[in-house]
Amino acid sequence: MKVSPELLKQLNEMLDAYTQDVKNSGLKPSTEKTYLLHANHFVRWCNGDFVPGARLKESGK
């Protein structure tokens, strides 16, 4: 983990709020997906669960 558990909790809460803002923004679905994917990757990177340029792990979705 690159950040403290407290900061990770805050980041996840902020990601949830960001997700709602993006979903309510009226963006095209493909643009919305890109915004959310990259924000999610950043939070995963902060958690030590993402390496830029590496193959993505299956998320079960």
Q: Could you say which DSSP state residue 23 is in?
A: H
Largest CA distance in the chain: 35
Q: What is the pTM of this model?
A: 0.81
The domain segmentation of the chain, as residue ranges, is 5-46
Let me know: does 29 contact 37? Beta carbons within 8 Å.
Answer: no
User: pLDDT band at residue 51, thresholds of 50, 70 and 90?
Assistant: very high
pLDDT per position as a tens digit, 23-50? 999 999 999 999 999 999 999 999 999 9
pLDDT higher than threshold 90 for residue 4: yes
If one compares 6 and 56, the residue with the highest pLDDT of the two is 6
For every residue of 34-46, DSSP letters joined together read HHHHHHHHHHHHH
Choose among 2, 46, 39, 8: nearest CA to 22. Answer: 39
The amino acid at 41: H
